[in-house]
Amino acid sequence: MNSEDKRRLRQCRVPLCRDLRVGEIRDALIQVSLFTPMELENLEQHESPMSHLLDDIERKGPDAIQLFIKALEFVDKPHLIEIINENTTMKGGQKKILQLDLPMDYKDCTLKEKEEDPNIEGASLLEKHLNDVHDNITELQTKLEKCESEYEESKTNEEKLRLKVGILQRTQKDLNAQILYLNGYVHFLAEMHKNSQAHVYTIISSLVEKIKLLTIQQEHFKMGQTYLFDQNTILLNEKQILMTENADLKIENTLLRKELEKRKQVAENNEGESSKRKKLNL
């Protein structure tokens, strides 16, 4: 979600938390594909689920606020939709995700002119957006390292396995959104810099390599998710084996008790016969 949409959502937190409950909008959020059932199940365990829901929406993709408004339409909350829309500051109410505010004459700049004037406005704006992309990639790598650390700590606990699966799914969804954003940004750069292909090709190559790295990391997450499911299956199988062994032990214990009682009865009978013989001998 971009900074403008985050600002709009944060301006409405009080009425949203006051007039809306997670249970009311749960099915609508799933229907518009903004959340999965597992994400909402984990969310409802918090002390303030609505507040955490708004935090999670801010971490979703660029269309998150529109999907949230659509979900509000399903549950008939027009006053909340009106409050959100009143907080927009963009002209015409349109949201532009990948549009850069470059001057029109920037398209006509040659590579030689940019080398002579490195402080040209269009180049500065482009460099700023490239830095933003780099910051996004760094943030993703931090998230990946955090998830890998949490994954290592959850290998031997069945409950933690299920929670980490949910984390991996959310991170994978964020990775997919970032990959789509980077792909769109690569195409945008190719269109905006036809007259400076050498410079653009260097940027595109760097972004493509980063996309490949993110794709490889995504595959690692998928492998980790599969491993977690396998570990969960193994734990369930071991639990079933232990239950079966416990049942067998109970049966053996019953048989041993019966055998002990039988031997005790035989011993008592033998003792009675021995007493009778002694009396006869006397």
Q: What is the pLDDT of residues 61-117, one digit of tens each?
A: 888 999 999 999 999 888 999 888 887 654 344 433 333 333 434 334 444 444 444
Q: Given pLDDT bands bounded at 50, 70 and 90, which one contains residue 172? A: confident
119 and 210 together in one domain: yes
38 and 113 together in one domain: no
Q: What is the pLDDT of residues 45-60, one digit of tens each?
A: 778 888 888 988 988 8
Q: How far is CA 38 from CA 106, 200, 231, 234, in A?
A: 48, 42, 19, 22
112 and 198 together in one domain: yes
CA-to-CA distance for 27 and 74, rounded, in angstroms?
Answer: 9
193 and 121 together in one domain: yes
For the chain, report the end-to-end CA distance as a whole number of angstroms: 106
Q: What is the pLDDT of residues 183-209, one digit of tens each?
A: 777 777 767 766 566 677 788 888 899
Query: Does the structure show a pLDDT above 80 at 161?
Result: no
Q: How far is CA 45 from CA 22, 142, 194, 258, in A?
A: 11, 26, 52, 50
Q: How far is CA 102 from CA 56, 128, 188, 206, 235, in A?
A: 32, 12, 12, 22, 57
What is the count of structural domains for the chain? 2
pLDDT for 127 equals 63
143 and 33 together in one domain: no
59 and 34 together in one domain: yes
**Is residue 219 one of the residues assigned to a domain?**
yes
Q: What is the pLDDT of residues 97-108, one digit of tens each?
A: 333 333 434 334
**Is residue 116 one of the residues assigned to a domain?**
yes
**Is residue 142 one of the residues assigned to a domain?**
yes
82 and 108 together in one domain: no
By residue range, what is the domain housing residue 193? Answer: 104-151+172-225
Last residue of a domain, one of 225, 243, 259: 225
**Is residue 266 one of the residues assigned to a domain?**
no
**Is residue 274 one of the residues assigned to a domain?**
no
132 and 53 together in one domain: no
**Is residue 192 one of the residues assigned to a domain?**
yes
CA-to-CA distance for 252 and 265, rounded, in angstroms?
Answer: 20
Last residue of a domain, one of 58, 93, 128: 93
List, in order, residues 6 or more apart from 244 with CB less than 8 Å away.
Answer: none
114 and 209 together in one domain: yes
- CB-based burial label for 102 (10 Å; 0-12, 13-18, 19+): middle
**Is residue 156 one of the residues assigned to a domain?**
no
178 and 130 together in one domain: yes
**Is residue 126 one of the residues assigned to a domain?**
yes
